[in-house]
Amino acid sequence: MFSIFEWSALVWFLFLWVGYSYLSNKQISGQMNLSKILNEFRHDWMKRMLMREQRISDMSAVANLERNAGFFASTCMFLIAGVLTIIAASDKAFDILHTFAFIEQSSELASYGKLIILLLIYVYGFFTFTWCMRQYGFCSVLIGSAPLPKEDISDSIKNEFAKHAGSVLDQAGKQFNLGLRSVYFSLAVLAWFVGTEWFMLVSAIVVLVLYRREFKSKTLRELVLARGVKEKNK
């Protein structure tokens, strides 16, 4: 189906995707990133939520996060439908593609393979975003069942509850990140239709963009500073 060079490019693509996700989640470099700092804020959020009698604002915030995941889940469904439509009308689609001079000429079987890989990425994204939505739903249940400030429950139990509620919220955020990365990396697969070299180059560019935003962005710097201010006021 693919040439040796194309198989090598696919291995390169998977290595970058899986490798970056692993390094980002495990934080082997020891650097602060968006995932880590937001995890700390989420746990603080759950602690402060326990101090409030009314949790309407907390429920509203979780609902907004759930809507964001729902938007991307719906987008993945439309993209899945679009790719399936192209596969169903592959003869016409491939004829149109081959009329463009900048599109790499490849066999029909290889073109099918690229479309199937693209389809699998969007299916993965759909399942990831929907699981994210469910986890935010679990967070809403946890907030609704959280102990009240005046309730006769020890502080240690309340802190345990906040810790586990924050962990569920953090898992939802991580699933959203994984789904968002699948959308980014799908752009690299689209570049594969232009050329295998472009596929490899865009895959590397996607990793650089993600690294820049998650480890070196101004937003991260401001979040770290905000965290520092919060620690000083304790």
The pLDDT value given to residue 97: 65
Amino acid letter, 185: F
The answer to whether the CB of 171 falls within 8 A of the CB of 60 is no
pLDDT at 104 > cutoff 80? no
The answer to whether the CB of 165 falls within 8 A of the CB of 139 is yes
The pLDDT value given to residue 103: 65
State how far the Cα of 9 lies from the Cα of 178, in Å rounded to an integer.
22
State how far the Cα of 134 lies from the Cα of 172, in Å rounded to an integer.
8
How many separate helices (H) and strands (E) can be counted in the chain? 8, 0
Instruction: Show the CA angle centred on residue 66, arms to residues 55 and 166, nearest 5°.
Output: 55
**Which token pair is 106?**
């490849």
pLDDT at 27 > cutoff 70? no
pLDDT at 94 > cutoff 70? no
pLDDT tier at 233 (50, 70, 90 boundaries)?
A: very low
DSSP annotation of 194:
T
The answer to whether the CB of 44 falls within 8 A of the CB of 50 is no
pLDDT tier at 78 (50, 70, 90 boundaries)?
A: very high
pLDDT at 182 > cutoff 90? yes
Closest C-alpha among 186, 153, 192, 190 to residue 5? 192
The pLDDT value given to residue 110: 80
Average pLDDT for residues 90-117, to the nearest whole number?
Answer: 73
The pLDDT value given to residue 23: 83
Average pLDDT for residues 105-134, to the nearest whole number?
Answer: 90
pLDDT at 165 > cutoff 70? yes
The pLDDT value given to residue 167: 95
Of residues 138 and 105, more confidence is placed in 138
pLDDT at 83 > cutoff 60? yes
The answer to whether the CB of 199 falls within 8 A of the CB of 192 is yes
Q: What confidence tens digit (pLDDT) does each residue in 33-64 have?
A: 898 899 999 999 999 999 998 999 999 999 99
Give CA separation, 43 vs 37, 50, 120, 162, 175, in Å: 10, 11, 34, 7, 17
Alpha helices in 90-195 (DSSP H): 90-97, 108-145, 155-192
pLDDT tier at 30 (50, 70, 90 boundaries)?
A: low
